[in-house]
Structure 1
C-alpha cells in the first residue's frame, strides 16, 4: 500500500512565511539603496574631500558595503 504524506499549512503559518519573505525583501531593498546612495555620494567627492574624510577612492566600495550592512 502506498504511503502518502500531505503537508498542511495553517493560515497563520503561510502568513508568517509571507511576512518573513516580505521583510527580507524590504531589508535587501533598503541595503541596496544605502549602498547605491553611499557609492554615488562618495564618488561625487573630489580626492581632496575624500582625504579630509580620511578615505581614498579604493576604500569607497568597502565603506558603501559597511553602510549597507548597517541597515
Structure 2
C-alpha cells in the first residue's frame, strides 16, 4: 500500500516571516493603545463615578490590562 503525506513545509520564506513579525508588532501596538486609553478614560472619572461603576482606583490598571490583553 502507498501512503501520501501532504503536510505543508515547516520552512517559511523571509517575506512570510516578516509579515508574521509585522502582525505581531501591530497587535502589540494596538493592545498598548487600548491599555493606555482605558487607563486614561478611567482616571478621568471622578471617585463617585467610579464607585457607581463598582471600580476602585487601585483596580484601574488591572481592568485596563484585561481590556487590552484579555484575562
Structure 1 position 15, deviation (Å): 1.0
- In structure 2, stretches of 5+ residues that fail to align are 1-10
Aligned partners of 2:69 and 2:27: how far apart in 1? Answer: 10
Give me the TM-score of the superposition, normalised by structure 1.
Answer: 0.79
- In structure 1, stretches of 5+ residues that fail to align are 1-9
The secondary structure found in structure 2 opposite 1:58 is: helix
Stretches of 4+ moved more than 6 A in 1? none
Structure 1 position 26, deviation (Å): 0.3
Aligned residues: 60
- Find the counterpart in structure 2 of residue 52 from structure 1: 52
The secondary structure found in structure 2 opposite 1:55 is: coil
Give me the TM-score of the superposition, normalised by structure 2.
Answer: 0.79
- Find the counterpart in structure 2 of residue 16 from structure 1: 16
